[in-house]
């Protein structure tokens, strides 16, 4: 009897394995072979970046303000009276004359400006030389037709 049980179970095992092989074969045959689709080649377009815009040309007023600020700092921080006087002479060459008015704004409210007592460029430069402090910055400048400073307005820093 043992022999029959063993043969029956062997037959059943072979039969089941055959069914399993057929089932697996049938599944594979029904599946479509999927080929990977080629990825489209993306061509990178070379985009030329436009050159950065050239900085706008500086106006004569901007150049004059820059130069005057440097001169004012030089006069106020001069190591000796002689070097301060030399710088003062160079600065005066930028003005139409030595009596050009210098207006110092001490207060502004609602568009109305209050000025300190008007002074001249010569007196203001001597003031910078004596105090060794440049507490103002240029807020407005006017040039005459020849490019010389004809009026200057200052404000506290």
Instruction: Give pLDDT, residue 47.
Output: 72
Q: Please list the alpha-helical segments (H only) found in the chain.
A: 2-30, 60-76, 81-92, 121-131
Q: How far is CA 12 from CA 15, 16, 100, 155, in A?
A: 5, 6, 121, 108
Residue range 6-51, pLDDT digits in tens = 555 777 777 777 766 766 665 554 455 566 677 777 666 777 778 7
Read off the pLDDT band of 75 (50, 70, 90).
very high
The partner residues of 138 in beta bridges, in order of sequence, read 154
Domain 60-156 bears CATH identifier 3.10.450: yes
| Gap between the terminal Cα atoms of the chain | 116
Average pLDDT across the chain, whole number:
83
The structure tokens listed for 154 are 């200052």
The structure tokens listed for 39 are 């990825």
CA-nearest of 124, 133, 102, 127 to 115 is: 102
Q: Domain residues of the chain, as ranges?
A: 60-156
- 103 vs 88: CA distance, rounded Å: 18
Residue range 121-153, pLDDT digits in tens = 999 999 999 999 999 999 999 999 899 999 999
CA-nearest of 62, 121, 48 to 87 is: 121
- 113 vs 106: CA distance, rounded Å: 8
């Amino acid at each position: 009897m043992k022999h029959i049980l063993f043969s029956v179970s062997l037959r059943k095992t072979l039969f089941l394995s055959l069914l399993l092989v057929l089932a697996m074969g049938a599944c594979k045959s029904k599946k479509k072979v999927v080929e990977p689709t080629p990825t489209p080649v993306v061509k990178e377009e070379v985009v030329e970046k436009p050159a950065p815009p050239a900085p706008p040309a500086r106006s004569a007023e901007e150049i004059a303000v820059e130069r005057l600020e440097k001169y004012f700092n030089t006069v106020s921080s001069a190591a000796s009276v002689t070097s301060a006087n030399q710088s003062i002479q160079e600065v005066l060459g930028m003005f139409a004359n030595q009596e050009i008015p210098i207006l110092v704004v001490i207060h502004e409210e609602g568009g109305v400006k209050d000025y300190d007592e008007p002074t001249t460029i010569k007196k203001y430069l001597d003031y910078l030389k004596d105090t060794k402090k440049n507490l103002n910055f240029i807020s407005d400048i006017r040039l005459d037709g020849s490019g010389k400073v004809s009026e200057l307005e200052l404000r506290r820093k």
